Amino acid sequence: MKTSTKAQLRAVYRARRMGLSSNEVENQSKAIAKRVMEWLKIHPDIHHLHLFFPIIRFNEVNTFLLREELDKSGKTLYTSRVNRTATELETLKLPKEAEFFEDEWGIPVPQESIQVSSSKIQLVFVPLLAYDGEGNRVGFGKGYYDSFLGSMDHPVIKMGLSFFPPEGKIEAEPHDVSLDYCVTPEKIFTFSS
């Protein structure tokens, strides 16, 4: 099985995403949101979910569509903002009517939010560029989500969202936190831990 370096995979998947039209991103994001909502129907005990928001210029999965569905279903939503000083993610409780602005990296951040503990979060949607059949993922290389997930003192479900199927094999590093699931427009991949 071929193993690519994380740097190679970042370059390949950035290019693959940039090759998608805005219509493709929107339609595939809708299909992903639909699959997530179907999965949550069979996991009714999950109420507290942490959601990332897309950097539009990178053609990330449009999680604003998923947010709408989660709001309608009465879930409690959280997101994060980067604390540049501590180089970590701070957990924010997301109000239903929150308006967003883009920070200097193009990450949508809610204008109104309350910083809270991450102790109630049951599921974290994890951004990624690529992943493999074992749940190893490649992000943008900053390590924020690995640190965030590694800092949690309770078990959480880690769910990636991707337009693409898994890669053959990604070499995990000691600090990497693997996924439990990855949702694509076509199916949900489940990884054993």
CATH, residue 75: 3.40.50.10420
Indicate whether 139 belongs to any domain. Answer: no
> Per-residue b/e over 28-55, b at no fewer than 16 CB within 10 Å?
bbebbbebbeebbeeeeeeebbbbbbbb
Q: Burial, 120: exposed, middle or buried (Cβ in 10 Å; 0-12, 13-18, 19+)?
A: middle
Within 8 A by CB and 6+ apart from 170, the residues are 3, 4, 6, 9, 130, 131, 132, 134, 136, 137, 138
Residue 3 confidence (pLDDT)? 59
| CA distances from residue 10 to 140, 142, 163, 185 in whole angstroms, order as listed | 7, 12, 14, 20
151 domain residue, yes or no: yes
Lowest mean pLDDT among 59-63, 100-104, 133-137, 178-182: 100-104
Q: Does 78 reside within a domain? A: yes
Q: How many domains does the structure of the chain reveal?
A: 1
Tell me, yes or no, whether 138 lies in a domain.
no
Q: Which domain holds residue 123?
A: 3-131+146-190
Is 102's pLDDT higher than 90? no
Task: Report if residue 141 sits inside a domain.
Answer: no
The answer on pLDDT for 113 being more than 90 is no
Q: What is the tens place of the pLDDT at every residue in 121-168? A: 999 999 999 999 999 999 887 788 988 998 898 999 999 999 999 998
Residue 63 lies in a domain: yes
Share of the chain above pLDDT 90, in %: 69
What is the spatial distance between Cα 160 and Cα 178, in angstroms, rounded to a whole number? 10
* pTM listed for this prediction: 0.93
30-40, pLDDT tens digit by residue? Answer: 999 999 999 99
User: Residue 79 falls within a domain, yes or no?
Assistant: yes
- Locate the DSSP E strands across 23-163: 48-50, 76-83, 88-93, 100-102, 108-110, 114-115, 123-126, 130-131, 137-138, 157-161
